[in-house]
Structure 1
């Protein structure tokens, strides 16, 4: 009887906490979102709590156990504590039956499950502050009674996913403990994920989850994404020059200005690598936290792709992806002076002839001379427009296929359909 009262008190406290949190959704570190009204409970689960949100109205929440038997609000066994309100049901079950469970209800809102189990997912310490376009690496492991789990039966097909949940949920990467990609050794219990934070600045919930057909475990972590602390531009040193000026700007409030290193590559219009470019801010950083370099290239169209490595003011080492830049070094447009002088002399001569001997033939000559000069100007303009059109076309093509410096990049793993 005492345990039943304790379960009801715990459920009441949970109900009070969740109904009072109207500002934003609260996730405990190991809460698991309830999706599709289904959930699998593994044999190591000591206690589980379902937090079910539904529309106002008659309460018709029913829990179906793996053996097909049902649990109701007013009819349930002694190991169940059930507290309900107009819009929420919180159900706590001690030593729940292992296997697939189902909640029969028209659920609405952020439904989740709280677990008390000997099996835990633990991750390395992650920073609260992240940067847009930053790469971060995280390690996660499963523990049973604080002992690292390496049993292949548990780890086989277990996938580690990392998602940032803000306005919408976005899965960033997916890994297995298979010794491939960034994972060091197969079935050593240590899953490694490399995450590219390709998100707009804002507040997010970093959700790390491992899942297979036997169990699911979660770790939730608050994260705030800030603007990238390094920006840059590249252009011709001057009009008609065959030298490109690379200028990088550092946010000195975020990074140590002397710690930035740029590792990039320059590719031509045919996607051939022209040169690798490595620049250190410590070599020429200015008082405005700018550092530059000049590279001599041919007159052509190029793409610059790079990463920045730096140290934050807090001492954290960061790796940033810099957006690709397409630039063009255009040769100076030179109109031969002799040709221009000859054309002007011809026009002047024909005008003089026309004034002295006005006739249909002279008028034709004047028109022809003026047309020749006009045609020369049209050819010059067409040359400029064609160069710009080629540059815009290359920009569109590069926008569809992003360049990367790493040959070894995170590769998504095709998820198998969950067994219902």
Structure 2
């Protein structure tokens, strides 16, 4: 009876293969030798989940069921889940047809598969906007049959931030960030180097893993704090003033001596300059000469140690240092010239030139000087006159009715 059963199973297999080959002969491009008794396997229980490894560069396999019907990657019933990528065909059926099956194509091997396991992510201890963070998790397949290269190709892990829309937060109207892919770091560990959003507020940090038919999502709530620094880039008052980049520390819990700013100046034409700044009394300032008509953009990072002793690195927001344009400089020069012309015109309209004022003052100065000299001479001669005797002093005229010489007493008698 056992022999008859085996012969019956073999005959049924031949009939299935022959009927399938005859019905789909025009559609198959495989050699005839690969259509007979090759790559046979038997499904004897449900569910069915296996991975079929093809030769490198080979097309997806074609499966032939016990009833002779063919299943293609692009055309198969919904009861069959099929994932094909990078030389691998994953086949999963919850209620497969029990019996002999055949895989047509360049098949190397097939093995039972048990799915993927996504480990709990290690959420980084990041707090500030623009802070650098490293998110990691472990991913592996339960059967342990995939190579690291195959696992890297199959696993898709993405992370992103979504605002919780708190009214007082800067990110109130913020949606979600673009998804960041986690990359394989060896030993089934996947990580992503990323930075926190540039807007402060409350977020839901999400991580979604997908691999073949498996998927899992994790979430983590986080509050992103505002940058503990204030950045100012005042506009120059004139074309002689330098460009200024000023950074002020706003958090008293941060040690000012630990703050180090690496600022990159993008000068245009693929030229750049790096400046290292330190705080002095809580302020770091960079002065750079203007380049008329040019705009210098800045980017950079700041390192510091927080109150807990943890070292942190934040990305500074980009800023623009705008020099005055050539037109603005010309306008300013024209404005200064106009002010000078208006002042000269005002003096002209007054009718008195500054030279006339000078010429008018010259006689006054000389007249004042002459009067001063004349007033000084009698005062200098007075002491000499007082030493002369009365007889030597000049006598008054006798016919003068108004002037009396009181130094002579006989004048009174004469007048009387």
TM-score (norm 2): 0.45
When Rg is computed on C-alpha atoms for both structures, the one with the higher figure is: 2
Q: Which has the higher contact order (CA 8 A, sep 6+)?
A: 1
